[in-house]
Chain A
Amino acid sequence: MPRTLTINGQEISARSDQTILEAARDARIPIPVLCHLDGLTDVGACRMCLVEVAGSNKLLPACTTRVQEGMEVRTDTERLRAYRRQIIELLFAERNHVCAVCVANGHCELQNLGIEVGMEHVRYDYLFPKLGVDLSHERFGMDHNRCILCTRCVRACDQLEGAHTIDVMGRGAKSLIIHDMNVPWGESITCTSCGKCVMACPTGALFKQGSTVAEMVHDAEKLAFLKAARERKVWNV
């Protein structure tokens, strides 16, 4: 059953199983995302895609909220813009995101969103946590200083590779991405070295070893291709 709703006053129709984000994209209405990645399930973790829905005093994540008949959605209000900037600033304040010396400088979704939300400085105190870099894997590296805990790597490893090597340990700002039962990545017995986690990472947290400043280009869109090709059983053999 199709559903009819309005987004920013524009009337659109969507399938009943679609999320607000999917419906908005079909209608070419942009909504910023960070933890969402085409090809992976949505978890609504980063709150970048929050939207206003008439009748609800809560802001709802567009990526995990299904469309409903007659829904009135706003994606770009003053309040939403203020929260989006706040989210990005808090992410920058929480870890050590030094763009100037980052492998992903110029190819980073967090950096790009900083520009999009108009962040010219961070209003919060930087926490400067002491975090490590895991270079034990022979091909890849993990820099916890750049991690925003979006869990795209966790989901790519689980849902596309089927290995579930990667997971999250701890709570809140002290959470950490871990491999197996928190062993160095290179000692993981389940990692297949497929590199899908590296493709999925939006920042410089996961990188190919040998990449220097600004050299790490992620191939996140390949993951959506991979998923679609599997589902449709279309392969170039």
Chain B
Amino acid sequence: MGKLRFASVWMGGCSGCHMSFLDLDEWLFDLAEAVEVVYSPVADIKTFPENVDVTLVEGAIANQDHLELIHTIRKNSRLVVSFGDCAVTGNVTAMRNPLGGADVVLDRAYQDAQLLRPQVPHDDGIVPPLIDRVLPVHAVIPVDLYIPGCPPPAKRIRAVLQALIEGKPPEMIGREMLKFG
């Protein structure tokens, strides 16, 4: 069997899930043997490629860019994995939802709290427009697997990736594999 074409994506999250991924330490060498990294925030690849076997999605869907990218990811990936609590539940990224739409938080960040020339960035292509409600990934596209945790501990990430490399469904059972937070 050839190498798995592997991607990871950083959406509306803090990158903590990717930091936890790096906590795989020396097992990353074993992983590098088994997969070909075709897209990732730790690799400088500009466009999401086609024919991806596994894509880990960190973060919730919070802005227009995420919304567009996630559909490309679904179209081009065999397995989409919600990677961490923001992707699975919305988590901290979605804590703005009870406050109302995007304007409420933009005003708070760019208008109310600023003393000098308060203004919301508005030029096209500068900042992707926020969508009104932050959504977990599975609320936008079908998701194949979920790795909860904020962040998921490295052991949990390894257990999932190991199973996928061996072509088996990972066993998501018990505190080691399922604890949120």
Contacts and interface: CB of A to CB of B under 8 A. Distances in A.
B126 interface: no
A78 interface: no
Contact of A111 (B95, B146, B172, B179): B179
Contacts of B139: 125
B181 interface: yes
A101 B175 CA distance: 18
Interface in B138-181: 138-139, 143, 146, 148, 150, 172-175, 178-181
Given A118-B173, A121-B89, A122-B89, A99 B180 contact: yes
B181 A102 contact: yes
B97 A121 contact: no
Interface stretch (A29-37, A63-71, A128-136, A160-168): A128-136
Given A98-B95, A100-B91, A125-B139, A114 B178 contact: yes
Given A118-B173, A120-B148, A121-B88, A129 B180 contact: no
A121 B91 contact: no
Interface in A109-152: 111, 114-115, 118-122, 125-126, 128-131, 145
Nearest to B139: A125
Interface residues of B, number: 29
Contact of A115 (B88, B90, B95, B175): B175
Interface in B85-114: 85, 88-92, 94-95, 97-100
Contacts of A19: none
A111 B173 CA distance: 14
Given A99-B180, A100-B85, A106-B181, A118 B172 contact: yes
Contact of B99 (A105, A106, A115, A130): A130
Contacts of B143: 121
B181 A120 contact: no
A86 interface: no
A99 B94 contact: no
Closest 7 A-B residue pairs measured CB to CB? A99-B181, A100-B150, A128-B97, A99-B180, A120-B146, A105-B181, A130-B98
A92 B136 CA distance: 13
Given A118-B172, A118-B173, A120-B172, A128 B133 contact: yes
B82 interface: yes
